[in-house]
Amino acid sequence: MLTIVFFAQTREIINQGSLSLEFTPAFKDLETLRQHLASKGDKWDLALQKDKLLVAVNQQMSDWNTEVKDGDEVAFFPPVTGG
């Protein structure tokens, strides 16, 4: 299983904070996973536009070509604005 979490605008657009997803080897990397989720509908496609989206795996900022492993917690969110 994969745990997918969303924050800020990303979460608000899809109106969902998290979901669980059966892991399959078809999720080669984070980009494949992003595309899979974006295909769930217009709002998902909008929320997961890559130009202003960051991704973290197991709470570490990651690159799109990072490999996805069973059990990972993957987070999608916009650029951070704290401080």
Which residue intervals of 1-83 are DSSP H helices?
8-14, 30-38, 42-47
Residue closer to another protein by CB (options 25, 79) is 79
Q: Phi and psi of 65, rounded to 5°? A: -90, 10
Q: Return d(Cα 26, Cα 33) in angstroms, integer.
A: 9
Q: From the CB of 25, what's the least distance to another protein, in Å? A: 26
Does position 9 interact with another protein (CB under 8 A)? The reply is yes
Does position 60 interact with another protein (CB under 8 A)? The reply is yes
Give me 35's structure tokens: 């595309």
Does position 15 interact with another protein (CB under 8 A)? The reply is no
Does position 25 interact with another protein (CB under 8 A)? The reply is no
Q: From the CB of 30, what's the least distance to another protein, in Å? A: 15
CA-based R_g, the chain, Å: 12
Give me 72's structure tokens: 């990972």
Which residues of this protein are in contact with another protein, per CB under 8 A? 5, 7-9, 52, 56, 59-61, 75, 77-83
